[in-house]
Amino acid sequence: MRHIQYILLICSFCGMQSTYGQIINWNGVEDTKHIVNVGIGIDYGVTYNVGYTYKLDTKTPIILTTSFSLPSGAVVLDDFKSKIGGQLLIINNPNFKGGIIINGIFRRYENQLVRLLNFGSETKASFGFYRTKWFLAAEIGFDKAIVTHFKHSDYYKENYFEEVKDGWYEPATGGNFQYGLQTGYSLKKSDITLNLGKVTAQDFKTDPTIPLYVMVGFNHKI
């Protein structure tokens, strides 16, 4: 029973804090090397996101990304999520484009019962229609919790299970699917973006407490 509770907790943990990522209008970055991104959204509460993108000088468009997000709350940095990875265009027609996103993830979550540190991965695909001034794309992704460190509080040990063991756990079934839409309007040096969708657990039976996500973002191109 306790193992099942851990799996359910980690499935919810995967969904928290920024299932969305940096959204790029591929038809508006030809002469751009650097993009700074900020965003605010609803994803298990109000979440703030900041990120940086570097576009490589390659024949096939590739960008490297890193981002950091945290929810609003009284205690700063008790929960956060950081990602590092990249995006690769695999379909690069003038207006129809499709890309693959791969990220490594490190996140922290703490409540009255337990503190979790997790290493995970995120794989996404997006396909859509892109113009210089606007774009609309569909996205689907999978966020996997690979290994998680549990440190239980004294309150948990005193009230629930005194002999509980702290340490690393590898929940093979911990993960969430995300699917939704991304769109935006582009100016010469900036983009205003919108990302919204739904989250469901890997077993397709368990929905997170808030199964929807939405983010408004702003990109500044350098």
Q: How confident is the model at residue 1 (pLDDT cuts 50, 70, 90)?
A: very low
Whether 35 is in a domain gets the answer yes
Residue 125 has pLDDT above 80, yes or no: yes
pTM of this prediction?
0.86
Is 164 inside any structural domain? Answer: no
Number of H-type helices and E-type strands within the chain: 2, 11
Backbone angles phi, psi at 7, to 5 degrees: -65, -45
Q: Which residues contact 123 (CB under 8 A, 6 or more apart)?
A: 100, 101, 102, 103, 141, 142, 144
Query: Has residue 9 been placed in a domain?
Result: yes
Average pLDDT of the chain, as a whole number: 86
Q: How far apart are CA 55 and CA 57, in angstroms?
A: 7
Domain that holds residue 93: 2-109+121-143+176-221
How does residue 73 score in pLDDT terms, banded at 50, 70 and 90? low
Q: pLDDT grade, residue 77 (50/70/90)?
A: low
Domain count, the chain: 1
Neighbours of 5 (CB within 10 A): 9
In degrees and rounded to multiples of 5, residue 141 shows phi and psi of: -150, 170
Residue 151 counted as domain residue = no
The predicted pLDDT at position 4 comes to 44
Tens-place pLDDT, residues 44-63: 678 899 999 999 999 999 99
144's CB contacts (< 8 A; 6+ apart) are 14, 120, 121, 122, 123, 174, 175
* 153 in any annotated domain: no
Q: What is the CATH classification number for the domain harbouring 125? A: 2.40.128
In the chain, which ranges are continuous DSSP H helix? 2-15, 154-159
